[in-house]
Every structure is written in structure tokens, then in C-alpha cells.
Amino acid sequence: MKILVLGGTGFLGPHIVEAALARKHTPTLFNRGRTNPQLFPDLEKLHGDRDPQKGEGLKALQGRQWDAAIDTSGYVPRIAKASAELLAQNVKQYVFISTVSVYSDFSKPGVDESSPVGALENPKTEQVTGQTYGPLKALCEQAVETAMPGKTTTIRPGLIVGPGDPTDRFTYWPARVDYGGEVLAPGNPDSPVQYIDARDLARFCIKVIEDGHVGIYNAMGPKSPLSMAAMLYGCKAVTTSDARFTWVSQDFLIEQHAAPWTELPLWLPDGSEMSGLSRVSNAKCVAVGLQFSPFADTARDTLAWFKSQTDFERHPWMAGLSGDKERKILDAWKSQHPAATQP
């Protein structure tokens, strides 16, 4: 099949292209030609702008036909609508990569595809912030489905992780554990964590096209529950690190102003208004064939990619605790719990 990828050279995009090639499909990339332009030199690349108001906009797509399009870079409804409307008569299926952040309430576990999505006070805004990101994605979903009713597949991933991840929101853990020494482990060791390996998500994008699945799917992994402790010890298992874990209670971490999710990636305090973000239902995705890589592969490959780019001390971390703050919290905790560190 001929598959158009809107984006294709950032984090998820290259994995989608590789997955398409592995299945003997023919990808075409449409982007501005600015991010990693050296990638995929043998593939057709069309240049333009997602925003039809900038430069030649989507002109390069006019009059072309593909079996399917995969939209990895739609964040603003007006812009997502423009590409979907232009391609409505020229593709059989439109796969839109959305996010579980569209949901309005994560205070309880079991959020599924029928759960309510968030809304904006000003639906005309195009400013993408932490507060508007999810509701804007929900409006993008609606715009695409309106343009291509019955031909749209909306995939809502959770935290996308793996080689190439520029956010550090998972990478911090295998890298920190590999660095060794005493590692601050957050909250309840049994609290669940959820993520999706970018390569698994990419293969799922191709599968829904091959199988013709439309509708909405929460792309969350792993298939079976994974605890914070299992994740951290899983990271250690793929290294030769001397890392030792000190579990610090969530109440103490909150007192110390340690930020969930950002400074302590994947950690959400039990009972918080966001705790359901680690308990989202993936049953519908699993039912149509979403497959999951072993956690060890995800951790090992992410760490290998990270170490090929930089090292723990020189890396300008976008997520994770600074060394000074980690040490400060650990010292304060151990002054009250001197036997806290575990092998």
C-alpha cells in the first residue's frame, strides 16, 4: 500500500516509516524538511507546511492519491481539518495520532474510549499549552472525523517512550539507574505505570490500516499491569549498575515539592486527581491486535540510544530530578528512616 505520513522525521514518525517499510508498504513523507532531513534518502519527500496559511501550505499534496494517511503532527483543529479535507477524496483511511490527554477526568481508574473528553473555554484558541493540549487534540479528532466520516482511525496513546524520545519522560529512569548509586524511588512500589513503546505504536498504526480498523483506540501498555518497582528493577536488570533504591513516601515527596510526572517520570500519587492516567483501559486496542515489546527490550534499547547520544552528567535533562534535589530529598528522608535503602 501507499501510505502518506504527515510528519515522519521526528520521534514517532521514523518508527512509523520503518514499520511501513518492514511490511513492504511504500511511504511518502510530507513535512517542512527541517527535522532530520537526512533520514530516508530513498523515499519520496514532499515539502510544505501543515498550516495552509503559511507558504505553499499543503499544495504538494493536491491531486495525489494514497491508500492511507497517518497524521503524526496535528495539534490545532484548523490545521488538522485542512489536511483531512484536502485528502478526503484521495485516501481510503486517515489515521490520526491523538492522546489520552483528551480525557477530562483521571481521578478514577478504567478510563476507556467512551469516557468524556475535555473542552476549552475558547475553542478558537491555537495556543498549545499544558492546559489546552488535550482539549485541542479532542477538537482535532472531531475535525478529522467530520471531514472523513467512517474513514478515520483515532489512536490515543499514553506516554510514548523508546529510542529517539526527546522528552526524557521515560529515558530518565534507565539512564539514572544505569548511572548507579542511591536512586530515589517514588511513592508506592506497587503503583501501576503505563506507557507505549513507540515501535509498538508504529506497528499498530500499520496494522489498523492493513486490517481496515476505524474508530477510537487507547494505545496504552503494557498488556499486563507493571508496577513502579517492577519498572525500576527492570531497568536495573538491563544494566551492570550498582544502583540501590530508596523508596520515599508520596506524602514526603509532596512536602519536598517533588513534581509528579515531570521530576519523577511516570509517578502519579495514589488517590490524586491524575492517578487514573496510569490505569487507562487498553482492552479495545488489544482486541484488534496491539502487540507489546518486553519491558526489557524497551529499557535496554532506550538506554543504548541515550548513551549513543550523550551521557548522564552532560545531558540537559528535560524531565527527572536534578542530582542536587535528589540528594537533598534522600538525605532528609534518611534522617527519619535510616534503614530505607534497598539493594
As a whole number, mean pLDDT of residues 313-323 equals 97
| Cα–Cα distance, 46 to 31 (Å, whole number) | 7
As a whole number, mean pLDDT of residues 159-166 equals 97
As a whole number, mean pLDDT of residues 252-274 equals 97
Residue 214 has pLDDT above 80, yes or no: yes
Q: Cβ distance 228 to 185 under 8 Å?
A: yes
Please tell me whether the overall predicted TM-score, pTM, comes out greater than 0.85 for this model.
Answer: yes
What percent of the chain is helix, strand and coil (3-state, nearest 5)?
A: 35, 20, 45
pLDDT band with cut points at 50, 70 and 90 for residue 8: confident
* pLDDT tens for each residue of 192-212: 999 999 999 999 999 999 999
Grid cell at residue 203:
506497528
Residue 343 has pLDDT above 90, yes or no: no
Residue 296 has pLDDT above 80, yes or no: yes
Kindly give the interhelix angle for 228-237 and 172-179, rounded to the nearest 10 degrees.
Answer: 60
Give the fold, CATH level 3, of 2-157: Rossmann fold (3.40.50)
| Cα–Cα distance, 76 to 212 (Å, whole number) | 26
Domain with CATH 3.40.50.720 in the chain: 2-157
Residue 32 has pLDDT above 90, yes or no: yes
Grid cell at residue 334:
534518611
The predicted pLDDT at position 339 comes to 74
Grid cell at residue 275:
492517578
Q: Cβ distance 305 to 174 under 8 Å?
A: no
pLDDT band with cut points at 50, 70 and 90 for residue 11: very high
Residue of higher predicted confidence among 338 and 19: 19
Hunting for cell 489512536 — which residue is that? 155
| Cα–Cα distance, 326 to 330 (Å, whole number) | 6
| Cα–Cα distance, 306 to 310 (Å, whole number) | 6
| Cα–Cα distance, 275 to 48 (Å, whole number) | 40
pLDDT band with cut points at 50, 70 and 90 for residue 338: confident
Closest CA to 176 of 46, 71, 322: 322
- The whole-chain average pLDDT of the chain stands at 96
What percent of the chain stands above pLDDT 70? 99
The predicted pLDDT at position 92 comes to 97
